[in-house]
Amino acid sequence: MEFSLVEIKPGQTGVISDIRGGSALKTKLNQLGLREGKRIKKISSVFNRGPVTISVDNYQVAVGYGKAIRIMVEVDELEKASPGRES
């Protein structure tokens, strides 16, 4: 199932399935190493529209809320099965 980056919980992993934005947004995220098909892990997020920190290719990137809500992630099957899991 596909969720935006802000909807998934810290500790969950998945693959970026879509970036819902124009070419400028896709170019900027591509420069950070975020593009369709990349495996990511959500590290943390700040409550109420703050930045989201993710791990990609063994480094961490912070993405603002406005960009993070446009990054769609296909969450790994195992983690979808246990939504109440604490990380």
* Of residues 10, 14, 37, 39, the one with CA closest to residue 26: 37
- The CATH code of the domain that includes 8 is 2.30.30.90
The whole-number pLDDT of residue 16 equals 97
Query: Is 61 contained in some domain?
Result: yes
Whether the pLDDT of residue 82 is over 90: the answer is no
Query: Is 85 contained in some domain?
Result: no
Contacts of 79 (CB under 8 A, 6+ apart): 12, 13, 14, 85
Domain that holds residue 27: 2-80
pLDDT tens digits along 2-51: 999 999 999 999 999 999 999 999 999 999 999 999 999 999 988 888 89
Query: Is 12 contained in some domain?
Result: yes
Q: What's the total number of domains in the chain?
A: 1
